[in-house]
Copies of this chain bind each other. A is one copy, B any other.
């Protein structure tokens, strides 16, 4: 056998051995993870990709025949929502808190009333075993502003149907929700096009 061919084969064998070891470790960890239950996922942090991740998960669930429910706590009537243009073609329970961004309305009483209605819709979904996955998009801000009661949220999440998944998105998620969650991702903004003077664009940013 030529030296070069020998070296090639040896590298190939090393790669195979390394991959087998990785596979064995992954298999071992997968074998240990056997519990099936509703998972509470929190996607927080200041980076781009939180709401899209929530809607992407709804899309994934829908593709497997699961029934989603969605409550949008911030998006108002100003911008139409690309995601919902598609998702509304499917059987999904959906509620939008219609006051627009809270820093645009500048009317605390109106915001609180709208938040409370949106929370009642959420609570009904969290009590409905026919809904397999609930997206509470940008709910974190309502907690931060004190517009909805945190104890009530914790109670509704804790007593929800055992197989129901819940996704909560938004910046500055409250510590108690993070503690309660099974999976928490913190999306950090390494950089953002906005900083380079690039405006929010239809189809990418809304």
Contacts and interface: CB of A to CB of B under 8 A. Distances in A.
A3 interface: no
Interface in A102-156: 102-109, 132-133
Contact of A20 (B23, B57, B106, B204): B106
Contacts of A16: 106-108
A93 interface: no
A13 to B, nearest CB: 10
Nearest to A19: B106
Nearest to A167: B204
Question: Closest 4 A-B residue pairs measured CB to CB?
Answer: A56-B56, A52-B56, A63-B82, A63-B85
Given A15-B108, A49-B185, A165-B203, 12 more contacts: A29-B194, A39-B198, A50-B53, A51-B56, A57-B204, A60-B203, A60-B206, A61-B203, A61-B204, A63-B84, A132-B203, A165-B201
